[in-house]
Amino acid sequence: MTEPIIYELSVSGRSAAHLPALDVPPSPLPPAHLLRRELDLPEVSEPDLMRHYVRLSQLNYSVDTGMYPLGSCTMKYNPKVNEDAARIPSLLNVHPLQPAETAQGNLALMYGLQQALAEIGGFAGSSLQPAAGAQGELTGILMIRAWHRARGDTRRQVILVPDSAHGTNPASTSMAGLRAVEIRSDDRGNVDLEALAPHLNDQLAGIMLTNPNTLGLFDEHVCEVCRLVHEAGGLVYGDGANLNALMGIVKPAQLGIDVMHFNLHKTFSTPHGGGGPGAGPVGAGERLVDYLPGPIAVRKEGREGDQARYTLRMPAHSIGRMKAHYGHFAVLVRAYTYMRMLGAEGLRASSEAAVLNANYLQALLRGVFPLPHDRTCMHEFVLEGRLADAPGIRALDIAKRLMDYGYHPPTNYFPLIVPEALMIEPTETESKQELDRFASALRSIAEEARREPELLHNAPISAPVRRLDEVRAARDLVLSWTRPTRPAED
C-alpha cells in the first residue's frame, strides 16, 4: 500500500482530542516504575484520524457494499432498524446481575423470542443461551446424551453424521464425549438409506441432520431417516443453519427433529462477516425440552403484553449453563426486531424469495460450470469450479477472479463431497438485476478461463492485497503495526 499509515502521519504535539478543562482535583500518577516512557501512539489531527478509519473500513468487503454469495453463511442484508433497536438505552443499559423485577423489558423480549423460535421450529420450547451455531450443536448433543443417561442407557455412544455435514458436526459430537460415524450420501445428495441401516442398533445415540443439506437440497428421505433413527432408540439433532429456506413453510420438528439450533446471525440477520458475535439458540421437542440449558425466561403472571411479569428459571433436567448470563443479548434484540418487522407472512416470503433466487441463479449457470446435483435446489446450490476445456483452472482461481468483478467469492471446497466445490447462496435480499450481473460475471470468467487462464491464476488484481498465502496468514498472525527497523526493508 502506498498511502501513509497513521503512525507515519504522526506529528509531535498534534491531537484530535479536545478535553474540557479539569473540574476535579488532579489525582497523582501511578508509581514511576509502572509508567512507560515511550507510548508509541500516533499524534494526529481529527481529519487524519477520520480518514484512517474510513479508509480501513473501505478495505473490507461487506454485505453493505455488494452481493456476498457465501453459501451456508446466509449473508443477507441486515436491516439497519435492527441496529437502532440494539441500541435502545433501556435494553442496553441493564446489568446482567440486576434483579429480574427491574429488567422486565429485557425478559419480555427474551420470552417473545423463545416463543417465536419454538413456533417457527415447531418445538415445545427454546433456550437462548448458546453463543453460536457450533455451541448450539454441542448443547443439543449434550442434551441427547443426558436424555439417554437419565434412562440408564449408557451404551449409546454413536452419533451419525452425513458426509455432507459442516465440520462443526463431528467436532461437537467429539466435544460432547460421543463418537461421530460418517454416513455417505447417495447420488441424489440424500442420506444413503443403505449406509444408514447397519447403524440402527443399540449403540446409536442419534443422528445430526442438516436439512436442506449443504448441497442446498431438501433430503427426500428426511422423514424416513428420522423414523428409522427413532425406532432404533436414537434421537435426531437438526443443524438449523439452513433454516433460511424453510421459515413459515416447514417446521423442522414435524419432520422428526428433536432438537435444533438456530443461527440467529444467519437466518435472522446480524452482521457476522468479521467473526462478530452470533447466537445459536436451541429449540427442543417434548422429549428434550426439560433438558434445555438455562436460565430461560418464563411468564409468571398476566397475559403477554403490558401486565405480564417475567422471571428466569432453569428447566427441570437442565444440562446447565452454556454461557455466562443470558447469551449474546444484543444479537437477540436484532433477531427479535427482524422477526417483528417482517411478521409471520414476511418470514415465509423471505424464505420463498431465497429459494426462488437460488433456483433462478442455478438456472442461469447451468451449463456454465458443471452442476453435479441437478435438482430443484433450496436456498443455495453447489457448482464444480472446473472446466473440461480449461484444465489448469481450479475453484480457487474462479473465486479469486470474482473479486475483480466486485463480488465476494462463494464458499469453496465445501461441502467436501463435491470436487472443486463452489457453493452459492444469493439470499432473498438480492434483486433479479443483481443476480443477472453475478451470473454474467461467472460466464465471463468461464470464457477467460479458456482464453486467458493466467488472468485467473493471477487474480485478484484489483483487491487491496493480491493472492495471499492463506495458511501462513492464519498461522503467522500480524495483528498490530510495528515500526520498521530498517527503512529499506520493504
Ligand X SMILES: *Cc1c(COP(=O)(O)O)cnc(C)c1O
**Binding residues for ligand X, per CB under 6 A?**
72, 132-134, 166, 168, 210, 214, 239, 241, 263, 278, 280
Helix axes 329-365 and 104-121, enclosed angle (nearest 10): 30
Nearest-approach distance from CB 214 to ligand X, in angstroms: 5
Quick one: 233 or 280, whose CB is closer to ligand X? 280
- Closest distance of CB 126 from ligand X, Å: 16
How far is it, in rounded angstroms, from Cα 51 to Cα 45? 10
Report, in Å, the least distance between residue 475 CB and ligand X: 21
d(C-alpha 134, C-alpha 72), whole Å: 13
Looking at beta carbons only, is 107 or 351 nearer to ligand X?
A: 351
Q: Which is nearer to ligand X, 269 or 445 (CB)?
A: 269
What CA–CA distance (Å, rounded) separates 51 from 58?
A: 10
In the bound complex, what is the minimum distance in angstroms from residue 174's beta carbon to ligand X? Answer: 15
Nearest approach, Cβ of residue 168 and ligand X (Å): 5
Give residues with Cβ within 8 angstroms of 18, minimum separation 6.
none
Cell triple for 167: 465440520
Task: Please say which residue, 342 or 423, places its beta carbon nearer to ligand X.
Answer: 423
CB of 274 to ligand X, least distance (A): 13
Q: Which residue number, 44 or 117, has a Cβ lying nearer to ligand X?
A: 117
Q: Among residues 401 and 408, whose Cβ is nearest to ligand X? A: 408
Residue with smallest beta-carbon separation from ligand X: 133
Residue 327: left (phi > 0), alpha (psi -120 to 50), or beta?
left
Q: Tally the residues of the chain.
A: 490
Nearer to ligand X, 168 or 185 (CB): 168
How many C-alpha atoms does 262 have within 13 Å on its Cβ side?
A: 35
Shortest CB 301 distance to ligand X, Å: 35
Please give the C-alpha separations between residue 209 and each of 78, 126, 384, 417, in angstroms, as whole numbers. 27, 19, 23, 16
The least distance separating ligand X from the CB of residue 12, rounded to whole angstroms, comes to 45
- Least distance (Å) between residue 341 CB and ligand X: 22
Residue with Cβ nearer ligand X (280 or 295): 280
Nearer to ligand X, 189 or 460 (CB): 189
Nearer to ligand X, 106 or 267 (CB): 267
Between 213 and 310, whose beta carbon lies closer to ligand X? 213
What is the nearest approach in angstroms of ligand X to the Cβ of residue 2?
36
Instruction: For the CB of residue 398, give the shortest distance to ligand X in the complex, in Å.
Output: 21
Q: Is the CB of 387 or the CB of 418 nearer to ligand X?
A: 418
Residue 338 C-beta: closest distance to ligand X, Å: 16
For residue 328 the three cell numbers come to: 449474546
How many whole angstroms separate alpha carbon 259 and alpha carbon 174?
A: 18
